[in-house]
Amino acid sequence: MVAKIILIAFYLLFPALVLYLGHTFSFVRKIGSIVVCYVVGLFIGNIGVLPGNLEGMHDILTSVTVPLAIPLLLFSEDIRKWIKMARKTFLSLLLGIFSVLVMVVLGYFIFRSNMPDAWKISGLLIGVYTGGTPNLAAIATMLDVDDEIYILTHTADLVVGAFVLLFMLTFAQRFFLLFMRPFKSPEGIEFQNHTAEMVDEFESYEGFFSKPVFLPLLKGFGLTVLIFAIGGGLSMLVSKNNQTVVAILTITSLGIVSSTFAAVNRIKKTFQLGMYFILVFSLVVASMANLSEMFSSYNSTFLVSIFLYILLAVVGSLLFHALLSWIFKIDVDNFLITSIALSMSPPFVPVVAAALKNKMIVISGLIIGIIGYAIGNYLGVAVAYVLKHFT
């Protein structure tokens, strides 16, 4: 019992240490807090230090953290900014989502014979490449994806994503400028004043426990718990197989609706608290993975197929999005920031914008990333269930 209490404390407190280290050391911040939690989770789960009979505790933590995170991530939404997005930016968003859908569906039909539950993996890929890890976690919960499949998918995504991010930070702009138009600053529009504020919204935990921030945040968390309860209650009205899907989509919808109220939208640090729950989830799930057992459970054909599927989804959608952007005359910077916002989520937007030496695309990139958080759950589940009929 004492060991379990210590382990729960570790799961809940270690992400705080990671965030502190990220604030203190730039190299930790560049790696990313989710990656650090994920790698540490894999490490402690495979060195034999965890006590046995933890499945029930793990299930509780994973089933609670994601539903609590979703509304908090969405409370900072501002749908009015969606409406005010520049036409080219919105078009780039649609082209990016369409590119992901095409490549994931294409990959499903190519690799489905080599992968068990390929329709579930397709749903995961739609989620992660329209909203990032929060959507990946939510869809895994909704579709009841095996922990091993989740870990394999996430691991392959991290490997491929690392190379794509390196390409984005170095040669991407010059390469795509060979056939795409350069970025032109829109006349009469000034985004610079809001850039620092928007970046802070996604990266900074400074002042988290100060009275002006923490007390309103407690109210926001109370609303999240209420939304969680409503989602859970409504899920009891449907069959057991559909309960998790109904609960998560209800929670997502109520989170978006709540964000339209100024009193909720103005609460500071709700996004950061939501991401904290995602860090806890990542740590817990990764620690549940037995790598030696995992790789011995699946044949090489499956492992190669899932890697190639993710490679097609990432690189294929990037190139297809580039082709569509060239056809529709989207400039290279908007194309790149849309791609990174959808596939790697908002925290990477300022990093890539800095590499492109273009601060003016930060705002649009962050908004696109937020939209991805909002719609990724719906798209992922919808595509998964459509493809299930072709199994």
pLDDT digits (tens, 9 = 90+) for 316-334: 999 999 999 999 999 999 9
**Where is pLDDT greater, at 280 or 46?**
280
Q: Which amino acid is at 367?
A: I
| Closest of 101, 27, 132, 26 to residue 346, by C-alpha | 132
pLDDT band at 4; cut points 50, 70, 90: confident
Asked whether the beta carbons of 138 and 126 are under 8 A apart, the reply is no
Taking only the tens place, the pLDDT of each residue in 83-132 is: 666 678 889 999 999 999 999 999 999 999 998 889 999 999 999 899 87
Selection from 346, 375, 374, 364 nearest residue 92 by Cα? 364
148 vs 154: CA distance, rounded Å? 10
The pLDDT of residue 225: 96
Best-predicted range by mean pLDDT among 51-60, 79-88, 352-361?
A: 352-361
199 or 141, higher pLDDT: 141
Mean pLDDT of 167-186: 86
Model confidence over 281-323: pLDDT tens digits?
A: 888 888 877 777 666 767 788 889 999 999 999 999 999 999 9
Q: Which structure tokens are listed for 226?
A: 């209420």
Decide if 115 contacts 107 (C-beta within 8 A): no
pTM: 0.78
pLDDT at 199 over 80: no
Check residue 187 and give its pLDDT.
Answer: 47
Cα–Cα–Cα angle for 138, 140, 141, nearest 5°? 65
Q: Which of 388, 390, 312, 305 is nearest to 114 (CA)?
A: 305
Distance CA 60, CA 373 (A): 23
- pLDDT surpassing 70 at residue 81: no
At residue 308, the pLDDT reads 94
As a whole-number percent, the residues of the chain with pLDDT over 90 amount to 35
Q: pLDDT digit string (tens) for 5-45?
A: 888 899 999 999 998 888 888 788 777 788 888 889 888 88
